């Protein structure tokens, strides 16, 4: 039996994209409701007091289950819809996938995503004026270091956390795909990362992400090319 499932999210939010990829991979149907999070809509803040996307609602009425914040949603999906497993089954595999989840949610987000997306996206959405070129440069330099780290991992591993696709891949791809929308990922020279990203791009779960567009924000030309 299928559950009424609504995902409140913002298409260009990496945390939201992680959840969309996990839902897609697990073939869990959902209605998507884009949220203009920067306007802090009242009905959305009533769902999640932090005001952050994504929020997943399963069921309707007073008995509905509301799951706020990406990490909580991902763990919820894994516990309640275990197939296919996206964290691995062994403690060591789960530890490695979750280590990388935190890497992207925190380290990458602080050093790269937060800077580049604030300058290139949020400033336009919130009409905060022109981007700070120093901040963009700093984000791009940090991005190269992260690309080198990923390239190193993918030299010996098929997927980021090891032999199987996991939430770590989705966390990385969620961040990179939004930065790629703005044309800022330096693919050249990172061949293992590029091959890995092509494999992800061609999965059915990725299709809705490649179709994302937001008024006033045009994607880079190669954004939805499977062979870029």
Task: Evaluate whether 27 touches 203 at the Cβ level (below 8 Å).
Answer: no
Contacts of 109 (CB under 8 A, 6+ apart): 14, 175
Kindly state whether residue 91 participates in binding its own copies, applying the rule CB under 8 A.
Answer: yes
- Binding residues among 109-168 for its own copies as defined by CB under 8 A: 149
Among 4, 65, 126, 218, binds its own copies (CB under 8 A): 65
Select the span of 72-80, 122-130, 157-165, 217-225 touching its own copies (CB under 8 A).
72-80
Kindly state whether residue 75 participates in binding its own copies, applying the rule CB under 8 A.
Answer: yes
Among 19, 22, 35, 67, binds its own copies (CB under 8 A): 67
Among 1, 43, 46, 49, binds its own copies (CB under 8 A): 49
Q: Rounded distance, CA 152 to CA 79, Å?
A: 31
Kindly state whether residue 66 participates in binding its own copies, applying the rule CB under 8 A.
Answer: yes
Nearest CA-CA partner of 178 in 6, 33, 56, 18: 18
Token representation of residue 11: 């298409």
Kindly state whether residue 40 participates in binding its own copies, applying the rule CB under 8 A.
Answer: no
Q: Residue 56 forms beta bridges with which residues?
A: 7, 67
Kindly state whether residue 62 participates in binding its own copies, applying the rule CB under 8 A.
Answer: no
Among 94, 118, 124, 164, binds its own copies (CB under 8 A): 94
Three-state secondary structure call for residue 163: coil
Q: How far is the CB of 228 from its own copies (least distance, A)?
A: 28
CB nearer its own copies, residue 107 or residue 124:
107
Please state, as a whole number, how many other Cβ atoms lie within 10 Å of the Cβ of residue 192. 16
Three-state secondary structure call for residue 51: coil
> For 4, which DSSP code?
P
Apex CA 169: angle with CA 78 and CA 85, to 5°?
Answer: 25
Among 99, 137, 163, 207, binds its own copies (CB under 8 A): 99
Select the span of 93-101, 121-129, 197-205, 215-223 touching its own copies (CB under 8 A).
93-101
Please state, as a whole number, how many other Cβ atoms lie within 10 Å of the Cβ of residue 74. 26
Kindly state whether residue 71 participates in binding its own copies, applying the rule CB under 8 A.
Answer: yes
Total of residues contacting its own copies (CB under 8 A): 29
Task: Evaluate whether 33 touches 186 at the Cβ level (below 8 Å).
Answer: no
Question: In 103-166, where does DSSP find H-type helix?
Answer: 114-117, 123-125, 133-156
> For 161, which DSSP code?
T
Kindly state whether residue 52 participates in binding its own copies, applying the rule CB under 8 A.
Answer: yes
Kindly state whether residue 216 participates in binding its own copies, applying the rule CB under 8 A.
Answer: no
**Footprint on this chain of its own copies (rule: CB under 8 A):** 48-50, 52, 65-72, 75-76, 79-80, 91-92, 94-95, 98-99, 101-103, 105-107, 149
């Amino acid at each position: 039996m299928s559950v009424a499932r609504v995902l409140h999210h913002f298409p260009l939010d990496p945390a939201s994209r992680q959840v969309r990829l996990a839902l897609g991979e697990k073939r869990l149907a959902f209605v998507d409701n884009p949220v203009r999070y920067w306007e802090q809509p009242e009905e959305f803040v009533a769902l999640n007091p932090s005001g952050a996307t994504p929020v997943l609602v399963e069921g309707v009425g007073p008995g509905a289950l509301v799951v706020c914040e990406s990490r909580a949603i991902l763990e919820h999906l894994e516990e309640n819809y275990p197939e296919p497993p996206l964290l691995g089954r062994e403690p060591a595999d789960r530890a490695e996938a979750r280590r990388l989840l935190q890497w992207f949610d925190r380290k990458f987000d602080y050093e790269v995503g937060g800077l580049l997306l604030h300058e290139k996206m949020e400033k336009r959405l919130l009409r905060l004026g022109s981007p700070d070129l120093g901040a963009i440069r700093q984000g791009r330099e940090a991005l190269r270091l992260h690309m080198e780290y990923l390239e190193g991992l993918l030299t010996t591993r098929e997927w980021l956390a090891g032999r199987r696709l996991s939430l770590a891949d989705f966390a990385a791809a969620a961040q990179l795909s939004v930065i790629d929308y703005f044309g800022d990922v330096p693919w050249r020279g990172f061949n293992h990362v590029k091959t890995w990203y092509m494999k992800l791009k061609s999965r059915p779960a990725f299709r809705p992400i490649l179709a994302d567009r937001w008024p006033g924000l045009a994607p880079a030309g190669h954004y939805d090319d499977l062979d870029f």
